[in-house]
Amino acid sequence: MGQLSYNLDGKIFVVTGASRGIGFEIAEQLLQQNARVVICARKVEGLEAASARLTGGKNLLAVPTHIAHVEEVDRLFAETLNTFGGLDGLVNNVGMNLMTSVVDADPGVWSKIIDSNLTGTFLCARKAGQIMRDKKKGKIVSISSIAARRSAPAMGIYGVAKAGIEMLTKVLAQELAPFNIQVNAIAPCMVQTKFSEPFWSNKELHDQIVKTIPLGRLAKPIDIAHPTLFFCSEASDFITGQTLLVDGGASAV
Ligand SMILES: NC(=O)c1ccc[n+]([C@@H]2O[C@H](COP(=O)([O-])OP(=O)(O)OC[C@H]3O[C@@H](n4cnc5c(N)ncnc54)[C@H](OP(=O)(O)O)[C@@H]3O)[C@@H](O)[C@H]2O)c1
Residue-wise pLDDT for 7-26, tens only, equals: 899 999 999 999 999 999 99
**Interior angle at CA 215, CA 183 and CA 232, nearest 5:** 20
Residue range(s) defining the domain that contains residue 158:
12-247
Quote the DSSP letter at residue 78. Answer: H
Q: What is residue 152's DSSP assignment?
A: -
Residue 1: pLDDT band (50, 70, 90) is low
Q: Which of 3, 94, 84 is nearest to 43 (CA)?
A: 94
Q: How far apart are CA 218 and CA 197, in angstroms?
A: 12
253 domain residue, yes or no: no
Mutate to test the pocket of ligand 1, among 14, 15, 16, 20 (most ligand atoms within 8 A of CB): 20
Range list of β-strands (E), 23-128: 36-40, 60-62, 89-92
How many CB atoms neighbour CB 130 within 10 A? Answer: 11
Residue 88 lies in a domain: yes
Question: Can you tell me which atom of ligand 1 is nearest the CA of 18?
Answer: 43
Report the CATH number at residue 210. Answer: 3.40.50.720
User: Does 161 map to a domain?
Assistant: yes
Ligand 1 centre distance from Cα of residue 78 (Å) = 23
- Bridge-partner residues for 138, per DSSP? 181
Domain count, the chain: 1
DSSP class of residue 136? Answer: T
On whether residue 143 sits in a domain, the answer given is yes
Distance CA 109, CA 104 (A): 10
Residue 145 falls within a domain, yes or no? yes
* Position 87 in a domain: yes
State the average pLDDT over residues 40-69.
Answer: 97
What's the CA-to-centroid distance between 196 and ligand 1, angstroms?
10
Q: Does residue 157 lie in a domain region?
A: yes
Q: Is residue 6 part of a domain?
A: no
State how far the alpha carbon of 225 is from the alpha carbons of 15, 30, 32, 170, 182, in Å: 11, 9, 12, 21, 17
Residues with CB under 6 A from ligand 1: 16-23, 40-43, 46, 65-68, 93-96, 116, 120, 143, 145, 188, 190-191, 193-196
The reported pLDDT for the residue numbered 4 is 73
Q: How far is the CA of 116 from the centre of ligand 1 (A)?
A: 10
Q: What percent of the chain has pLDDT over 90?
A: 97
DSSP letter at 131?
H
pTM for the whole thing? Answer: 0.98
When pLDDT is averaged across residues 78-100 and rounded to a whole number, the result is 98
